[in-house]
Amino acid sequence: MVLNNCLHPGVVLLESYLAPLGITPNRLARDTALGATRIYSLLAGTLGLSTDTALRLAIYFKTLPVSLIPHGHSPGDPRFWLDLQRDYDIARRQQSPSWTELAPRILPYRPAGRTLRSKGQTIRSLADDQ
């Protein structure tokens, strides 16, 4: 699944790591002590990547030679996997119909009684602007 150029972590796992390294989903499940159903659901994009899974994948891929790491990312860091999930979740939420209706109604924070300035010029007075 791709949303706004964000890949689901399962797609990255499959296409950038499992397939090139010849690792089957069943082997990954066995080696990481995860259920095969969980791995297959993650790879299919029907399950998000949890913190627990990110930690296990980081341990599993920690010894991967640098020459085999695509795009210079470190799959041996759980933040790599969690960042993929976070970016995907943000893209998915921003594309949802409920968000496109809600976002325009959210008012940005503006401190009362202050004036915004840029290079010495007043942009807008915010005093009691409600």
Per domain, the residue ranges of the chain are 2-105
**Is residue 128's pLDDT more than 50?**
no
Q: Any idea which architecture 2-105 has in CATH? A: Orthogonal Bundle (1.10)
Phi-psi region of 90 (alpha: psi -120 to 50; beta: other; left: phi over 0): alpha
Name the residue with higher pLDDT: 111 or 37: 37
Asked if residue 2 lies in contact with residue 79, where contact means CB atoms within 8 angstroms, the answer is: no
Q: Where does the pLDDT of residue 5 fall: very low under 50, low under 70, confident under 90, or very high at 90 and above?
A: confident
Distance CA 96, CA 99 (A): 5
Closest CA to 25 of 41, 40, 9: 40
Cα gap 50→5, rounded to integer Å: 21
Q: Given a cut of 50, is residue 118 above it in pLDDT?
A: yes
DSSP secondary-structure letter at 8?
P
Length of the chain: 130
User: For residue range 61-75, what is the model confidence (pLDDT) as tens digits?
Assistant: 986 655 555 555 678
pLDDT of residue 77: 87
Average pLDDT over residues 106-125: 71
